[in-house]
Amino acid sequence: MLAKERKKQIWEMILQEKSVLSKDLCKRFNVTNETVRKDLIELENEGKIIRAYGGAYIIGGVQNEVHANLRETVYTEEKAAIGRSCYSMVCAGDTIFLDESTTCCAIAKELKTIEAITVFTNSYKIIQILEDCENVKLVLTGGEFDRKNQCFVGAEVTDFLKNYYVDKCFISCRGVDMNIGITDGNEKNGRVRKCIIGQAAEKILVIDKTKLNLKKFYKIGGFEMIDKVVIDGFYSDEQRDEWQKFLNQTYTQLIIAER
């Protein structure tokens, strides 16, 4: 296959799937990782994609799911800062829920020293992070395994969660907008987040600033449902002040994580 045709097909795959892994492209086109890397660099230089370690993705589209293995390689410092801020909110003996987001994975990494906590999660990656921590009781929701998001989804998850209550839930999303609210790129993942909000005494939304002013496919709810928003920062002081004013109206506390 000519390089021009291969690059065209790669672009069409990314348009459809919203993200691709380099290893899958190597297998599909029977080429080396270096060849794939060059193709992705060209697409990035054309402004079509964002490269990440192990693949590439695009931001556009209301139904946009980026593979978890790519998401965990971007904005790592920002997510780590959010994780440290959330650590101070968890007390010994708490029962909490962490969703499948890579931001919640960053929170999980900070919880290893807290005594006698119970963590409910639908995230396969969080189970791996905390599996050796004897001070953490892990409860996995079960359900249908979503390979792209490395988590469990479906009616089995929400039916399970409706039987329990937690002290705090930490959830993320794919987009937030002052007029639309909190949205997700996938209905199944969004339903899990909406469900656990109703089962938590304290609801905490954790996002990086790339989620601001985005509208995605499935509406989780409005900010009146959320007690705290933890974010890594804003693109400008004006944007920060605008969001602070808006969240004050919904009695939602804004916390800017320190890096």
Distances from the Cα of 130 to the Cαs of 86, 114, 151, 254, in angstroms?
16, 12, 15, 28
Q: Where are the beta strands (DSSP E) in 63-129?
A: 95-98, 117-121
Q: What is the CATH number of the domain that holds 33?
A: 1.10.10
Q: Same structural domain for residues 54 and 81?
A: no
Tokens of 17: 């799937």
- What is the enclosing helix (H) or strand (E) of 245? helix 237-249
100 shares a domain with 37: no
Q: Is residue 235 part of a domain?
A: yes
Domain span at residue 37 reads 3-58
Tokens of 89: 């909110």
CATH code of the domain covering residue 215: 3.40.50.1360
- Contact by Cβ (8 Å): 66, 150: no
Is there a domain that residue 69 lies in?
Answer: no
Q: For the chain, what is the domain count?
A: 2
Map 100-119 to HEC letters: CCHHHHHHHHHCCCCCCEEE
126, part of any domain: yes
211 within domain boundaries: yes
Does 43 share its domain with 160? no
Q: Which residue has the higher pLDDT, 94 or 43?
A: 94
pTM for this predicted structure? 0.84
Q: What is the arithmetic mean of pLDDT over 7-32?
A: 89
31 within a domain of the structure (yes/no) = yes
Q: Does residue 228 share a domain with residue 152?
A: yes
For residue 64, pLDDT beyond 70:
no
Q: Is residue 70 situated within a structural domain?
A: no
Considering the domain architecture, whether residues 123 and 211 belong to the same structural domain is answered as: yes
Instruction: Quick: pLDDT tens for 117-147.
Output: 999 999 999 999 999 999 999 999 999 999 9
Are 42 and 82 in a shared domain? no
CA distance from start to end of the chain: 46
41 and 113 belong to one structural domain: no
Whether 68 is covered by a domain: the verdict is no
Could you tell me the two tokens for 71?
């998401």
Q: What share of the chain has pLDDT > 90, as a percent?
A: 75
Q: Does 63 map to a domain?
A: no
Lowest average pLDDT, out of 44-53, 56-65, 195-204, goes to 56-65
* Per-chain mean pLDDT for the chain: 93
Give the SS3 label for residue 27: helix
Same domain, yes or no: 126 and 43: no
Beta-carbon count within 10 A of 51 CB:
18
Q: What is the pLDDT of residues 170-201, one digit of tens each?
A: 999 999 999 999 999 889 999 999 999 999 99
**82/163 same-domain check:** yes
Is residue 184 located within the same domain as residue 228? yes
CA torsion through residues 113, 116, 121, 124, sign: positive
Contact assessment for residue 126 and residue 150, using Cβ atoms and an 8 Å cutoff? no
Please name the amino acid found at residue 90.
V
The answer, yes or no, to whether residue 73 has pLDDT greater than 70, is yes
Highest-confidence range of 44-53, 64-73, 74-83, 96-105, by mean pLDDT? Answer: 96-105
Same domain, 37 and 115: no
61 close to 91: Cβ distance less than 8 angstroms: no
CA dihedral 63, 144, 229, 223 (to 10 degrees): 70
| Same domain as 205, residue 101 | yes
Q: Which of 15-24, 34-43, 146-155, 220-229 has the lowest mean pLDDT?
A: 15-24
